[in-house]
Amino acid sequence: MTKRASACAGALFFGVNMLDQSPSLVRNDWTKEEIEGLFDLPFTDLLFNAARVHREHFDPTEIEAAQLLSIKTGGCPEDCGYCSQSSKFDTGLKADKLMATETVLADAAKAKANGATRFCMGAAWRSPKNRDMDALVAMIRGVKDLGLETCMTLGMLTDEQASALAEAGLDFYNHNIDTSEEHYSNVITTRTFADRLDTLESVRQAGMNVCCGGIMGLGEARADRISFVHTLATLPSHPGSVPINALVPIEGTPLSMAEPVEPIELVRVIAVCRITMPESVVRLSAGREGMSEEAQALAFLAGANSIFVGDALLTTPNPEPRSDAALFAKLGLRPAASSVSKV
């Protein structure tokens, strides 16, 4: 740890804030040195402070349950090096057309019956075509009529498309930055890091909540994880949801042989996200199926308070509902009620 980073961490956790137990401030001026200092804290100190921040802003026994459906699978022209749905790679995945609205709503109803409070819909597009907007609007309105929060991830948006989705009532728009700006071109070349930030700005300007996170295990270094968190924590407003994924290697993709992120390091990322973005929902997302119960418990202790439920996440596996129920019972956790606040 550098002297400056060490001083930042010490001032944050062992100064006035810790002594008077005042609520952690929501800041958008974090420096990379401060975030480095958080990563370098002893693991138990980091978790202690992340858990304290979590309790200032959330009930630590509640976990949001979201379900994700691929409404248009495969055939994406992007070259994201981790993705089975890219047309650039031979992964054996068949491309499908956009699902019928009635089918999507039937899946949403099942998700609600199984305890989900948020229904997320993902399409493998670079960006939606205007001819598909009417169907997307109908899906949003239909899912909301079921009493579920709505989220979509459709790729890049124009300002006009963002406004149309907002007018339909879309609660969250997911558009991950994936990794650090410095490492980004090693993972994706068909769109830029700036393109992603532009879409986030369009979403914010339209009045929707931003859902934005990334994937650990893309060949990045610790410095990239620091930069990744720094980008999110210094956005004009913090994302309402921050999904943290562990890479699920897909045969046929360039990153199929990438070194997996260590569970302790993944928990560190979650803890630092919780501290730097105290009011955001932090979602333990893809890769959970391969995590032990102990690793998941540490992630919840570090401030993760959302998971995806259901048997699959787009094209990757997810723990069975009964496994989640058993783990929640062991840990004394319960599903959180639906709550949406506009940004």
- Three-class SS state of 314: coil
Q: Which two tokens stand for residue 68?
A: 């994700």
What six digits make up the tokens of 80?
């994201």
CA 263 to chain centre: 17
Convert the pLDDT of each residue in 121-138 to its tens digit. 999 999 999 999 999 999
Catalytic-role residue among 191, 196, 204, 211: 211
Q: Work out the average pLDDT over 36-43.
A: 98
Q: Reply yes or no on whether 83 is catalytic.
A: yes
Domains of the chain, each with CATH number or no CATH: 54-335 (3.20.20.70)
Are the C-beta atoms of residues 121 and 102 closer than 8 Å to each other? no
Q: Is residue 76 annotated as part of the catalytic site, yes or no?
A: yes
80 is annotated as an active-site residue: yes
Tell me the pLDDT tens digit for each residue of 239-276: 999 999 999 999 999 999 999 999 999 999 999 999 99
Q: Of 8, 118, 151, 273, which is the active-site residue?
A: 151
Verify whether residue 151 is a known catalytic residue: yes
Would residue 8 show up in a list of annotated catalytic residues for this protein? no
Pick the catalytic residue from 4, 8, 55, 76: 76
- Per the annotation, the verdict on 212 as an active-site residue is no
DSSP string for residues in 66-92: EEEEEEE-S-B----TT-TTBTTS---
> pLDDT tens, 41-55?
999 999 999 999 999
| Alpha-carbon distances of 291 from 100, 158, 261, rounded to whole Å | 34, 37, 11
pLDDT at 19 over 60: no
Task: Give the phi and the psi of residue 325 in degrees, each rounded to 5.
Answer: -60, -40
